[in-house]
């Protein structure tokens, strides 16, 4: 059994998005803090104000904190709450995609640009046109870049139908198909969507979309995509049932067929991750709230080696 390790002792960091840039692992987490905001189902207590970037020369190395890379005070359209971000590299530039509530308290996705993987990242003046909800995940495939996003409850995905904000819009009923995460190809300049966001379908073993009432399998938030042995692995959190799951497909758009659990519940309400290959080993980056004594808004990031069975299925890791 592989063992996990905490990556940072001096601060609270969550939702780690890990990538290999310049032969190192770079980690882009959310920066948790004690804001004093009362805990609620909208996630108002996740009141983050900046991002730090971290790097590691090897999987065993100490983690270097490169300091603040982007701050809410520098984002012209900012309201509040910088949640889970991700970074893509193209032609020597680094693009950070981040969710943030605008001045009407609606989550939009922004992009900020740097010449270095550790930043600082300079935000664009406006959010990405047509973007909404949370948890952007940038994925490159054959020179094309895609952004996955979405999250229900506090992530506001349930406010939208066919990419339009149509409140009051509720979650589907128990027997109806669950709300889908979204995908949009990015334009060459990496700053805008090249198409209308499309649904990412997660299917059961019979080829039917997972239902809203299937709470141990349906999508909640935290999209991540990686490729293993020619297959596309879409992984995500089931939110209120606290599992990290995955589904497999043949191309970035899916559909993806549900396969199983990557990580059983951790201490803390949220679970959120990334998966990356580094020097021929695979790693799961995630978080839990053990060091803060279970305060779900004060999370600590961790990593553990991820293993596959011969048929490509991921071996389940125990969160506790």
Cβ proximity to ligand FUB, 43 vs 197, nearer residue: 43
Give Cα 298 to chain centroid, integer Å: 17
Smallest separation (angstroms) from ligand FUB to the CB of 95: 18
Helices (DSSP H) in the chain: which residue ranges? none
For residue 222, state whether it binds ligand FUB (rule: CB under 6 A).
Answer: yes
CB closest to ligand FUB, residue no: 83
- What is the distance between the alpha carbons of residues 92 and 114, in angstroms, rounded to a whole number? 9
157: left (phi over 0), alpha (psi -120 to 50) or beta: alpha
Q: Cβ distance 301 to 27 under 8 Å?
A: yes
- What is the distance between the alpha carbons of residues 296 and 285, in angstroms, rounded to a whole number? 17
Cβ proximity to ligand FUB, 118 vs 135, nearer residue: 135
Q: Cβ distance 319 to 271 under 8 Å?
A: yes
Q: How far is CA 171 from CA 181, 226, 246, in A?
A: 13, 28, 22
Query: Active site residue: 15, 86, 118, 214, which one?
Result: 15
Q: Cβ distance 252 to 235 under 8 Å?
A: no
Q: Is the peptide bond before 41 cis (omega within 30 degrees of 0)?
A: no
Cβ proximity to ligand FUB, 114 vs 156, nearer residue: 156
Smallest separation (angstroms) from ligand FUB to the CB of 142: 28
141: its two tokens? 């495939």
Cβ proximity to ligand FUB, 83 vs 233, nearer residue: 83
For residue 86, state whether it binds ligand FUB (rule: CB under 6 A).
Answer: no
With CB under 6 A as the contact rule, the residue among 26, 83, 97, 145 that binds ligand FUB is 83
For residue 288, state whether it binds ligand FUB (rule: CB under 6 A).
Answer: no
* Pairing state between β 137-141 and 144-149: antiparallel
The 136-155 contact track toward ligand FUB, x by CB under 6 A, reads ---------------x----
For residue 272, state whether it binds ligand FUB (rule: CB under 6 A).
Answer: yes
With CB under 6 A as the contact rule, the residue among 16, 19, 28, 84 that binds ligand FUB is 84
- What is the distance between the alpha carbons of residues 93 and 205, in angstroms, rounded to a whole number? 40
Is residue 221 part of the annotated active site? The answer reads yes
Cβ proximity to ligand FUB, 252 vs 268, nearer residue: 268
Query: Active site residue: 115, 221, 240, 305, which one?
Result: 221
- What is the distance between the alpha carbons of residues 81 and 310, in angstroms, rounded to a whole number? 42
Cβ proximity to ligand FUB, 13 vs 306, nearer residue: 13
Binding residues for ligand FUB restricted to 11-30, rule: CB under 6 A: 14-15, 30
For residue 135, state whether it binds ligand FUB (rule: CB under 6 A).
Answer: yes
Query: Dmax of the chain from CA atoms?
Result: 50
Smallest separation (angstroms) from ligand FUB to the CB of 53: 16
The residues carrying an active-site annotation are 15, 221
Residues in contact with ligand FUB by CB under 6 A are 14-15, 30, 46, 83-84, 134-135, 151, 221-222, 270, 272
């Amino acid at each position: 059994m592989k063992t996990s390790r905490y990556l940072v002792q001096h601060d609270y960091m969550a939702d780690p998005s890990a990538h290999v840039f310049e032969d190192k692992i770079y980690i882009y987490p959310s920066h948790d803090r004690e804001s004093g905001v009362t805990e609620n189902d909208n996630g108002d207590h996740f009141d983050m104000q900046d991002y730090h970037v971290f790097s590691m020369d090897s999987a065993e190395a100490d983690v270097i904190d490169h300091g603040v890379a982007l701050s809410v005070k520098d984002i012209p359209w900012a309201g509040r709450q910088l949640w889970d971000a991700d970074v893509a590299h193209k032609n020597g530039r680094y693009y950070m995609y981040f969710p943030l509530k605008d001045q009407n308290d609606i989550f939009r996705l922004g992009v900020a640009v740097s010449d270095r993987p550790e930043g600082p990242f300079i935000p664009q003046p406006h959010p990405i046109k047509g973007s909404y909800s949370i948890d952007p995940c940038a994925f490159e495939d054959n020179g094309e870049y895609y952004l996955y996003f979405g999250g229900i409850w506090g992530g506001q995905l349930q406010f939208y139908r066919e990419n339009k904000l149509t409140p009051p819009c509720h979650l589907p009923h128990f027997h109806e198909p669950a709300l889908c995460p979204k995908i949009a190809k990015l334009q060459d300049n990496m700053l805008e969507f090249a198409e209308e966001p499309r649904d990412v379908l997660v299917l059961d073993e019979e080829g039917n979309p997972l239902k809203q009432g299937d709470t141990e399998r349906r999508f909640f938030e935290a999209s991540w995509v990686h490729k293993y042995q020619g297959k596309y692995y879409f992984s995500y959190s089931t939110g209120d049932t606290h599992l990290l799951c995955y589904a497999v497909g043949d191309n970035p758009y899916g559909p993806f067929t549900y396969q199983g659990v990557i990580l059983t519940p951790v201490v803390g309400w949220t679970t959120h991750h990334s998966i990356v290959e580094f020097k021929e080993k695979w790693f799961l980056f995630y978080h839990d709230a053990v060091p803060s004594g279970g305060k779900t808004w004060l999370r600590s990031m961790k990593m553990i080696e991820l293993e596959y069975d011969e048929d490509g299925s991921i071996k389940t890791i125990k969160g506790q």
